[in-house]
Structure 1
Amino acid sequence: MKKCLFLLASLVFFGFTANAQKVEFEEFDLDNGLHVILHQDNTAPVVTVGVMYDVGGKDLGGSSEAPRTGFAHFFEHLLFEGTKNIDRGEWFTIVSSNGGSNNANTSLDRTYYYEVFPSNNLELGLWMESERMLHPVIDQVGVDTQNEVVKEEKRLRYDNSPYGQFLFAVSENLFKAHPYKNKNIGEMADLDASTLEEFQQYFKDWYGPNNAALVVAGDIDSAEAKALVEKYFKDIPSRPVPTRSFPKEEPITETIKAKFYDPNIQIPAIITAYRTPGFKDRDAYVLSMVSAYLSDGKTSKLYKKIVDDKKMALQVGAINIDQMDYSIYAVYGLPLGDTSLEDLLSEIDEEIVKMQNELISEKDYQKLQNKFENRFVNSNSSVQGIANSLVRNYMLYDDINLINNEIEIYRSITRQEIQDVVKKYLNPNQRVELEYLPKEKSDN
Structure 2
Amino acid sequence: MRKAMFSVTLMATVALSAHAQKVTFEEYDLDNGMHVILHQDNSAPVVTTSVMYHVGAKDEDPDKTGFAHFFEHLLFEGTENIERGKWFKIVSSNGGRNNANTTQDRTYYYEVFPSNNLELGLWLESERLLHPIINQIGVDTQKEVVQEEKRLRVDNQPYGRWREQMFVNLFKKHPYRWQTIGSLEHLASATLEDFQKFNEIYYVPNNAVLVVAGDIDIPTTKKMIQNYFGPIPKGKEIKRNTFVEDPITETIKAEFRDPNIQIPAILMGYRTPAQTERDAYVLDMISTYLSDGRSSKLYKKLVDEKKKALQVFAFNGSQEDYGSYIIGGLPLGGTSLEDLIAEIDEEIVKIQQELISERDFQKLQNKFENRFVNANSSVEGIANSLARYHMLYDNTNLINTEIDIYRSITRDEIKEVANKYLKPNQRVILEYLPEETKAN
The TM-score bracket by the shorter chain reads over 0.9
Q: Which amino acid aligns with 1:385?
A: G
Contact kept in structure 2, 1:83 and 1:132, CA below 8 Å:
yes
- Cα distance change, pair 242–441 in 1 and its aligned pair in 2 (3 A): farther
Partner of 2:120: 124
How many angstroms apart in 1 are the aligned matches of 2:364 and 2:9? 18
Partner of 1:349: 345
Contact kept in structure 1, 2:19 and 2:373, CA below 8 Å:
no
Q: Is 1:273 paired with 2:269?
A: yes
Partner of 2:56: 56
How many angstroms apart in 2 are the aligned matches of 1:151 and 1:326? 28
Q: Is 1:425 paired with 2:407?
A: no
Once the two structures are superposed, the pairs formed by residues 216-255 of structure 1 within 5 Å of their partners are 216-255=212-251
Once the two structures are superposed, the pairs formed by residues 185-264 of structure 1 within 5 Å of their partners are 185-264=181-260
- Give the match's secondary structure for 2:396: coil
Q: Is 1:34 paired with 2:34?
A: yes
Partner of 2:81: 85
- Cα distance change, pair 55–13 in 1 and its aligned pair in 2 (3 A): same
Partner of 1:149: 145
How many angstroms apart in 2 are the aligned matches of 1:191 and 1:441? 33
- Give the match's secondary structure for 1:85: coil
How many angstroms apart in 1 are the aligned matches of 2:20 and 2:290? 31
Once the two structures are superposed, the pairs formed by residues 306-385 of structure 1 within 5 Å of their partners are 306-385=302-381
Partner of 1:159: 155
How many angstroms apart in 1 are the aligned matches of 2:376 and 2:40? 14
Shift of 1:414: 0.1
Shift of 1:440: 3.2
Shift of 1:16: 4.6
Partner of 1:305: 301
> Which 5+ residue runs of structure 2 have no aligned equivalent?
none
How many angstroms apart in 1 are the aligned matches of 2:235 and 2:132? 16
Contact kept in structure 1, 2:316 and 2:325, CA below 8 Å:
yes
Q: Which amino acid aligns with 1:30?
A: L
- Cα distance change, pair 29–298 in 1 and its aligned pair in 2 (3 A): same
Partner of 2:408: 412
- Give the match's secondary structure for 1:274: strand
Shift of 1:11: 3.0
Q: Is 1:184 paired with 2:180?
A: yes
- Give the match's secondary structure for 2:58: coil
> Which 5+ residue runs of structure 1 have no aligned equivalent?
none
C-alpha distance after superposition, 1:251-290 (max 9, x if no partner) = 0000000001111100000110000001011000000000
Q: Is 1:169 paired with 2:147?
A: no
Q: Which amino acid aligns with 1:246?
A: T
Contact kept in structure 1, 2:50 and 2:110, CA below 8 Å:
yes
Q: Which amino acid aligns with 2:364?
A: L
Partner of 1:438: 434
Q: Which amino acid aligns with 1:184?
A: T
Shift of 1:67: 3.0
How many angstroms apart in 2 are the aligned matches of 1:243 and 1:421? 33
Contact kept in structure 1, 2:353 and 2:415, CA below 8 Å:
yes
Q: Which amino acid aligns with 1:59?
A: D
C-alpha distance after superposition, 1:378-437 (max 9, x if no partner) = 000011001111111001010100000000000000000000000000010000011000
- The runs of at least 4 aligned residues of structure 1 exceeding 4 Å deviation read 1-10
Taking structure 1 as the reference length, the TM-score comes to: 0.96
Contact kept in structure 2, 1:177 and 1:249, CA below 8 Å:
yes
How many angstroms apart in 1 are the aligned matches of 2:83 and 2:147? 24
Shift of 1:220: 0.4
Contact kept in structure 2, 1:69 and 1:191, CA below 8 Å:
yes
Contact kept in structure 1, 2:282 and 2:414, CA below 8 Å:
yes
1:100 aligns with one of 93, 96, 100: 96
How many angstroms apart in 1 are the aligned matches of 2:294 and 2:179? 31
How many angstroms apart in 1 are the aligned matches of 2:273 and 2:2? 44
Q: Which amino acid aligns with 2:38?
A: L
1:76 aligns with one of 72, 77, 81: 72
Contact kept in structure 1, 2:20 and 2:372, CA below 8 Å:
no
Contact kept in structure 2, 1:179 and 1:246, CA below 8 Å:
no
- Give the match's secondary structure for 2:348: helix
Contact kept in structure 1, 2:64 and 2:187, CA below 8 Å:
yes
Q: Is 1:395 paired with 2:354?
A: no
1:293 aligns with one of 285, 289, 295: 289
C-alpha distance after superposition, 1:336-379 (max 9, x if no partner) = 00000000100000000011000000000000000000000000
Partner of 2:21: 21
Q: Which amino acid aligns with 1:107?
A: T
- Give the match's secondary structure for 2:418: helix
C-alpha distance after superposition, 1:113-145 (max 9, x if no partner) = 000000000000000000000010000000000
C-alpha distance after superposition, 1:194-241 (max 9, x if no partner) = 000010000010010000000000000011111111010000001113
- Give the match's secondary structure for 1:67: coil
Taking structure 2 as the reference length, the TM-score comes to: 0.97
C-alpha distance after superposition, 1:84-140 (max 9, x if no partner) = 000000000000000000000000000000000000000000000000000100000
Shift of 1:291: 0.3
Tell me the number of residue pairs that the alignment of Structure 1 and Structure 2 aligns. Answer: 439
- Larger deviation: 423-432 or 162-171? 162-171
- Give the match's secondary structure for 1:183: coil
Q: Which amino acid aligns with 2:188?
A: D
